[in-house]
Structure 1
Amino acid sequence: MLSHISDGDITGSNSCNAQTSGPPPKLVGSCPKVTINMGGVDVSCLLDTGSMVTTITESFFAKHFKNWGPEKLKACHWLRLRAANGLDIPYVGYLELDCQVLGRQIPKRGVLVVRDPLEPSPNSEICGVLGMNVIHECYRELFLEHGSALFDLPLVQEDPWQQALQRCHTAQLQPEAQVSGPVRVKGRRKICIPAGTMKFVPTTCRKAPSAHTGTALFEPLDAGLPHGLLSSPALVQVVSGTAFIPITNVGLTEAILPPRSQLGTLCQVEIVSQSNGLTSLLEDLGEEKCVTMATQSVEPNPLKTAIDAIDLSALTVQDQDRVRALLRDYHSVFSSHDGDLGCTSLITHEIPLLDETPVRQRYRRIPPSEYESVKAHIQHLLESQVIRESCSPFASPIVVVRKDSSIRLCVDYRLLNSRTRKDAFPLPRIEESLDVLSGACWFSTLDLASVYNQVPVAEPDKKKTAFCTPFGLFEFNRMPFGLCNAPSTFQRLMERMFGSQNHQSLLLYLDDVIVFSTTVDEHIQRLGAVLETLRVQNLKAKLEKCCFLQTEVKYLGHVISKDGVATDPDKISAVSNWQTPSSVAELRSFLGFASYYRRFVPGFASLAAPLHQLVAELAGTKHKRPSKRTLQDVWTEQCDNSFQELKARLVHSPVLAYANFSQLFILEVDASHWGLGAVLSQQQADGKVRPIAYASRGLKSTERNMSNYSSMKLEFLALKWAMTEKFREYLLGNKCVVFTDNNPLSHLTTAKLGALEQRWAAQLSSFDFSIKYRPGRTNGNADALSRQCQPSEQTVSLETLLPGTSLPDSLVQTVLPPQQVIQSMISVLPSHSLADLATLQRDDPTISGVLKFWRRGTGPTRQERRDLPAAVLEMLRQWRKLVEKEGVLYRQIFQPDGGGTRVPISGPSESQE
């Protein structure tokens, strides 16, 4: 402490005044002062190894750092500056300055600007304090260069510096014993100690020695225990941060020990000789203090038992011990029972309404058999302080839901949600989040306990959460399930907590957290940082739902491993036994489940198109009324084939590789008159080309009109759609090679383009890609995705009609050899056979009407035209472009460059998405 003796008489006792008019001898000493350079300014500082920070005064800052200005100071409200006497020291902010100390340049050290005292000393020359953030860094650099010989340097011979650096050196060789900390009663319930008995009370000590297993010395407080209770110094065993302190009731009546009561302090000790347990402890206390006592057996800590049972078989024995020690250190992060919940102070949930008119509904009847269960559950929520009794004008009804032989109260907030202003905070897209796992080998998943109940509701909005029961009106202190903005609030909380770590060392999706790394050491460090954040923010996780340091984990319905992302077998296993839907609701349920995994199903759009079309027909659309027919009435063989094929694809879905943004991407695109298909792949380290994602979609009605969309234009559309819409996040800023089976598309840079194609080309100009031609038979991935699923060995290809599309010699070298391509191809959706196409055209009412006149050799007469549907008349306008080959009707398309192709005709009834 820097002392100042003012001029004049010194106030004090008479004896002191009688002895001298100045300060008493040996009462005030000199301070170790040094002069260093901070940011180009010489500063006279107090050299203080007891200070963790370096400071300068506000007046010194205003005088010598005018260019900075107070507005440029960095704020650090999270830092609390406290003096040795326990009082807070106010400060303005901090700045980062280069410090020159003992000839060493210490860059970017934080310097706090503290406020001037109310009565500053006019004669004081000291303008700051040089703390350990600078002293220790100076020692570190000197020690790295000179070792222990640094104390022989002339600059270090000065007494203040030698003492300061010697302290740093001693601290490094012999770390200080861990500081004792206050010991408090563990838990939130009061402890009753009967008269004349001793009870071992579970306690916790947040500071170091109790955080590990070992022996510590308990020293009681001189006062503070309730009347009649007595505690004495004792050696106690610390197990996973918990110590059991013997407390004796020497009174004549029962004594109550309140929760969180401070009993004393713990400090770490070194055991020289081991005592014989309780007997020797009581002998040390003295016979005169021994009373009749009844000890209670201490049950084992269930969390410790659960931590010991965690599966860490993928690690070495040494690494397993390290992980379990880490989990024991952070055992307070895990919930020990259903009512053991945290409560963060980082955020509160608000419910902004469109108008303040209260939402009030009558309670719904509860079966009498559920009365006792509901009453007990409400009492449990009251004891956990999740809810409280209410006098709110709001009231929402409850619904009782049974789950695993226990009940859950769900509040029906639908009316309240309809009057709530929605929060637009976005939830992360799962498929984008999983892409950052590339290269990771170790994974841990954390699942928070009753996550919403760990977030407080803003006090003015608690009344809006009120719910009515036969037993009264209650409202939530914590955020309940069912509120429309609850997911956004919790995701915002997680982003605030882990914002700097998200997508770097972990992924967040509401209460599901996955930590990933490439090495075990890195993973333990990252896992410790996550657990520390949860502890600081007072959030708790369910240990039984967490897994640690695994090479393969389940996350959000996926299986994550170093090889890539796959579907969860537990989720997919039910698909194989999924019965044929009997209603539109069941069919929608199946399509919703299948759509969640569509990125694993090549050609999903083509496969699911008949089922989507069936739902639209029965349930109706915006422009079409629902049908009165049942699902069984319109369930066709095509729908059943689509349903069974989707089930098979989901059960045997491939493992998708992670994207490596430092490597070349391979994009395969193809288009047919059924739809568009694309496959994004990359060559892996083992030389194999593995898919990263599949994409497909059906054609729109305008795109199916071949007079508007030629084959080349459709291929161009597939390229534009794949690059600018489906895979934009992967390909923008990265090199890509595009393979297509349309030869004219490979001459895109020199071809004459229409207005629409020029707009597409402008959108593609932002991407770095090259196009290579590959025949359809070797472009199997994308070619199959663009076509309907019908297994066949005989394929229908586009036939060259006129010269102009032959492959130039200069382009032949760019085509991959067949043996290289076959290894990377996954034959997912083979093309239709000629017989299948002929059958489809014959069954189509529009094409069959055209075929009747085509095979007759003449078009319809004027009388016949009056009875023909408009679709048939529209197709007959293409009469001169029609050609039949092997029973299949084709439309002949000519290209501007002189080439041409034939494509099979499709009718309006063809399935599409």
Structure 2
Amino acid sequence: MAEGNDTGSSGPSFRSNVAVSKLIGTCPTVTVSLGGVELECLLDTGSMVTTITESFFASNFKEKLNSCHWLELHAANGVDIPYVGYLEADVEVLGKVVLGRCVLVVRDPPNHLPQPKVPGILGMNVIRECYNELFQQHGPSLFELPFVTGDASPWFNAFQHCQRAQVEGDSPKIGMVRVRGRRPVCIPAGTVKIVPTTCPQGRFGPLESGLFEPLTSMRSIPAGVVIAPAMVAVHRGTAYIPVLNVGTTDAVLHPRIPVGMLSPADIVSLPEGVTEVVGSPNEQVRATISSQMVIESTQPSPLDGLDLSALPPNEQDKVRCLLRQYSSVFSTSEGDLGCTNLISHEIPLLDNAPVRQRFRRIPPSEYEAVKAHIRQLLDSQVIRESSSPYASPIVIVKKKDGTIRLCVDYRQLNSRTRRDAFPLPRIEESLDALSGAKWFSTIDLASGYNQVPVAEHDRMKTAFCTPFGLFEFNRMPFGLCNAPSTFQRLMERMFGSQHCQSLLLYLDDVVVYSSSIDDHLERLGAVLSRLQQEGLKVKLSKCEFFKKEVKYLGHVISADGVSTDPDKITAVAGWPRPNTTTELRSFLGFASYYRRFVKGFAKMAGPLHQLIAEVQRAQGRSKRQFLAASWTGDCEKSFNDLKATLVSAPVLAYANFSLPFILEIDASFNGLGAVLSQEHEGKVRPIAYASRGLRPTERNMSNYSSMKLEFLALKWAMTEKFRDYLLGQRCTVWTDNNPLSHLETAKLGATEQRWAAQLASFDFTIRYRSGRTNGNADALSRWPASETLEQCLPGTAVPPVLQRPVPPNSVLQVTQAAISAFPSHSAEELMALQQADEVLGTFLTFWRNQRRPDRTDRANLSPQVLELCRQWDRLQEMNGVLYRHTQRSDGGEDLYQLLLPACLKEEVLQQLHHGHGHQGLER
């Protein structure tokens, strides 16, 4: 745009206003509404695009700009016009609304240059659509309307330009022809299929026939599909196009994809010998195709080799069609990477002093491999040459296949980087979302980090030095401390609304899940579409589609539940005994990752944890020597039991929040235990185990009775450990403490009243059963664990009583009948066990000889044997078994107590506990 300036001294006549008006004319401007915002625009039929200035966009719109880096914008003189993105909005012109027009947002000129008089330019992408709308409504009389022919209206010339472009253009094409319908059209290999398409209307009404010409660029058409020019009949906007599949696999055309252009044409006469054939829309013709007919040989697609054996044959075709539609999402080679513009990685430092280190020596035998790897990264634009003041050394790591991986040691840079606290998902919470899922697909991005750009101002900080020069990363490298947070943030922006609803996200691992095949097709298509939209690529060889069982983060997930990954666990079977605390910690760390599959994990691993604590306290001796000397039989048993249990770990159930829960609780003076379960399809399956030790104040029997401890276990399990499961859900609580089952009518102290208030928001019913049938929670409560060993372990076993339906109102009653606490052993077995016992065996040598020990003998006897000697007169032998004669305090019948061998004490105590309502230790 030119502007006159006639200030200054008087000049020749051409400086007069008349002369200026002959040189410079006014530009036609119109008022339009863009997304509800009115603005003045220059009406420019010479512009292919519509634009607004960046300052106008910033002050009137809050939408996020879309990017289109593939579009280059040039002025008439060839100068590049910078722009920041585009806005998609409706444009209202002359009372007509043009839907969904893309408006480019161009940068404002520098302050020292003339600023535009109006903030926008209305280009042909809007003018032509407005003309088409008005011409369809008014026809040729459009040019007689007042708002077009008025003296001040700039529209007359603009619409005349549109008419000339259509009538006198190089091609009389009417518009695009697209596949009709809402479902994909599958074309089997080696066949011709008649495909229905939608055709645009002509300027002067609907067409009856036209010349169809396929697009020259067939990006939307699958490989092997041939569409030839044809004369087609058009009926109510529909034409049938013959489509040939010369490939060896089925091909799919998706709804609304463009396949060609339609031009107006009339059939004057058919050549001699040619007869018109009208095919039905579903007609399919088997064709024999010779190799000479195929111009381009088609390579087999990697998608053809996918294992979809879990699906019926007809469903396999649908899946392959879907994957072919998004074939551009799949990486074709190691260097074929995408790049998103949704996020960029930044490296905020605590100070500005550059990190600079020397490169490390590389074996000469690896020179060529390193050079080739760097060339590949350069060709893929992952790195570029650098002149940065920063320099970090590289480390060469060999993969299993013999190739190398180039890693950069960013430890010094990371130590000076401000950390990003963006959270990663909790695996346990993610797995809980899989309830009801039957179909799974896993998607793994191809070098996911390398598809995220590094912010331009931070790229110099990623520089790394090699013997061959200094380079820096354009894309986010591995090894940066904030890289996981950036990548997780990217995935949350893309799929956050679907996380734990239709898919699971953990960095570059994506699992799509559903309960039906149709839902899975829809969800998988949505994920692939979003990946394509954001420019990301997937490594097909690491993906699995439509599986009933997949591996995810060291687990195997299926419709049955979650279990350990056999590939990870088999390595445990041959794990050698640790020689250092580092090795021991490594083993325990690995085992702890799978603790949710091991009932009683803390008890099983207790000796190993205790050993680590003892080693840390060791002084004056090397820790390696102390570990070897302190490795006891209990440690060896713990180590071997953990390995054996992990190898045979069971499958855990998913929580189903449409079903009620079952909570088993138990408490002892060693700790608290709880098991959360549900009944799935008539079978009770465990979901989670929990246990913790008692705090010092809780171990005080004067403060905590057995009932109060059981109440504590209920409060802890329900309000702390399993709160997320049980809040708002129906739950049945099973306890072996009968007084707790009458909680509603019990007299409570101040502490118990506070606990009851916390439980008031939960919907639960307490039921009683004896300890014999409450073995799951009871075993957890007996762990000799300190309060620091509090654990939450999903469980495995289910008590037999839970596998039978229990009437909802049934309460088991405690009887006063005597219950035998002694296991069934014959007199001969008991006699042998007493003789083999250390204490009883020593005493029996005197008893059988009917000789009481003298003073010399007593000096060498243990206190336990001496106590038996003091009770000599109360002892009696029956059938070779030694008993103690006692009298009941209530005057009842005399009793004979078996002198119990030490090996039977634990068994008898368990029987007493199970049969007598969970008595405390003292009783």
1:663 positional shift: 1.1
Q: Deviations over 1:717-746 (max 9, x none)?
A: 322222222212111121211111122332
1:477 positional shift: 0.7
The SS at the match of 2:437 is coil
* CA pair 92-444 structure 1, distance change in 2 beyond 3 A: closer
Report the equivalent of 2:469. 472
* CA pair 855-434 structure 1, distance change in 2 beyond 3 A: farther
Q: Is the 8 A contact 1:617 1:626 kept in 2?
A: no
Q: Distance in 2 between matches of 1:114 and 1:362?
A: 50
Letter in 2 for 1:537: E
Q: Is the 8 A contact 2:67 2:86 kept in 1?
A: no
Aligned: 1:902 with 2:920:
yes
Report the equivalent of 2:540. 543
Equivalent residues in 2 for 1:34-433 (5 A)? 58=38, 75=63, 77-78=65-66, 175-176=197-198, 205-206=218-219, 208=220, 210-211=221-222, 213-217=224-228, 267=260, 298=297, 300-301=299-300, 304=301, 306-404=302-400, 405-433=402-430
Equivalent residues in 2 for 1:778-817 (5 A)? 778-788=773-783, 813-815=810-812
Aligned: 1:519 with 2:516:
yes
Q: Distance in 1 between matches of 2:746 and 2:411?
A: 57
Report the equivalent of 1:555. 552
Aligned: 1:729 with 2:724:
yes
RMSD: 5.2
The SS at the match of 2:497 is coil
Report the equivalent of 1:682. 678
1:237 positional shift: 7.4
Letter in 1 for 2:597: F
1:765 positional shift: 2.9
Q: Distance in 2 between matches of 1:841 and 1:697?
A: 36
1:771 positional shift: 1.9
Q: Is the 8 A contact 2:345 2:454 kept in 1?
A: yes
1:615 to 609, 612, 616: 612
Q: Distance in 1 between matches of 2:419 and 2:918?
A: 55
* CA pair 672-338 structure 1, distance change in 2 beyond 3 A: same
Q: Is the 8 A contact 1:680 1:694 kept in 2?
A: yes
Report the equivalent of 1:879. none
* CA pair 531-900 structure 1, distance change in 2 beyond 3 A: closer
Q: Distance in 2 between matches of 1:215 and 1:177?
A: 19
1:855 positional shift: 8.7
* CA pair 752-242 structure 1, distance change in 2 beyond 3 A: closer
Equivalent residues in 2 for 1:561-580 (5 A)? 561-580=558-577
Q: Deviations over 1:521-576 (max 9, x none)?
A: 11111111111111111111111111111111111111111111111122222222
* CA pair 609-558 structure 1, distance change in 2 beyond 3 A: same
* CA pair 575-212 structure 1, distance change in 2 beyond 3 A: same
Q: Is the 8 A contact 1:746 1:771 kept in 2?
A: yes
Q: Is the 8 A contact 2:672 2:694 kept in 1?
A: yes
Equivalent residues in 2 for 1:569-608 (5 A)? 569-608=566-605
Report the equivalent of 1:509. 506
* CA pair 386-713 structure 1, distance change in 2 beyond 3 A: same
Letter in 2 for 1:696: S
Structure 1: any 5+ residue segments left out of the alignment? 1-45, 47-52, 61-69, 81-85, 96-108, 121-127, 136-166, 185-204, 220-234, 244-264, 282-294, 791-809, 818-834, 843-850, 858-883, 892-898, 906-913
* CA pair 92-596 structure 1, distance change in 2 beyond 3 A: closer
Q: Distance in 2 between matches of 1:76 and 1:181?
A: 36
Q: Distance in 2 between matches of 1:682 and 1:565?
A: 15
* CA pair 530-642 structure 1, distance change in 2 beyond 3 A: same
* CA pair 624-413 structure 1, distance change in 2 beyond 3 A: farther
1:683 positional shift: 0.9
Letter in 2 for 1:267: G
Letter in 2 for 1:378: I
Q: Is the 8 A contact 2:225 2:245 kept in 1?
A: yes
Structure 2: any 5+ residue segments left out of the alignment? 1-31, 41-57, 69-73, 76-82, 92-97, 105-117, 123-129, 138-176, 183-194, 201-211, 231-242, 252-257, 263-278, 786-806, 815-832, 841-861, 869-897, 910-916
1:500 positional shift: 2.1
Q: Distance in 2 between matches of 1:688 and 1:266?
A: 55
Q: Deviations over 1:7-62 (max 9, x none)?
A: xxxxxxxxxxxxxxxxxxxxxxxxxxxxxxxxxxxxxxx9xxxxxx99878499xx
Equivalent residues in 2 for 1:670-749 (5 A)? 670-685=666-681, 687-749=682-744
* CA pair 435-177 structure 1, distance change in 2 beyond 3 A: farther
* CA pair 241-279 structure 1, distance change in 2 beyond 3 A: closer
Identity %: 58
1:378 positional shift: 1.4
Q: Deviations over 1:448-477 (max 9, x none)?
A: 111111111001111111111122211111
Q: Distance in 1 between matches of 2:329 and 2:627?
A: 51
The SS at the match of 1:175 is strand
1:581 positional shift: 2.2
Q: Is the 8 A contact 1:240 1:331 kept in 2?
A: no
Q: Is the 8 A contact 1:611 1:639 kept in 2?
A: yes
- Answer with 452-461 or 777-786: which moved more: 777-786
1:280 positional shift: 7.5
Aligned: 1:484 with 2:481:
yes
Give 1 or 2 for the bigger CA radius of gyration: 2
The SS at the match of 1:902 is coil
Q: Distance in 1 between matches of 2:377 and 2:591?
A: 38
Q: Deviations over 1:321-366 (max 9, x none)?
A: 1111211222211111111111111110111111112112222222
Aligned: 1:651 with 2:651:
no
Letter in 2 for 1:597: Y
* CA pair 556-300 structure 1, distance change in 2 beyond 3 A: same
Q: Is the 8 A contact 1:54 1:111 kept in 2?
A: no
Q: Distance in 1 between matches of 2:250 and 2:349?
A: 46
The SS at the match of 1:468 is strand
1:76 positional shift: 7.1
Report the equivalent of 1:823. none
* CA pair 79-332 structure 1, distance change in 2 beyond 3 A: closer
Q: Is the 8 A contact 2:464 2:470 kept in 1?
A: yes
Letter in 1 for 2:677: S
2:457 to 435, 456, 460: 460
1:635 to 631, 647, 651: 631
1:415 positional shift: 1.4
Q: Is the 8 A contact 2:345 2:476 kept in 1?
A: yes
Letter in 1 for 2:226: T
Q: Is the 8 A contact 2:214 2:229 kept in 1?
A: no
* CA pair 389-240 structure 1, distance change in 2 beyond 3 A: farther
Q: Distance in 2 between matches of 1:349 and 1:640?
A: 48
Q: Distance in 1 between matches of 2:504 and 2:308?
A: 22
The SS at the match of 1:393 is coil
* CA pair 278-562 structure 1, distance change in 2 beyond 3 A: closer
Q: Is the 8 A contact 2:665 2:674 kept in 1?
A: yes
Q: Is the 8 A contact 1:212 1:241 kept in 2?
A: no
Q: Is the 8 A contact 1:58 1:113 kept in 2?
A: no
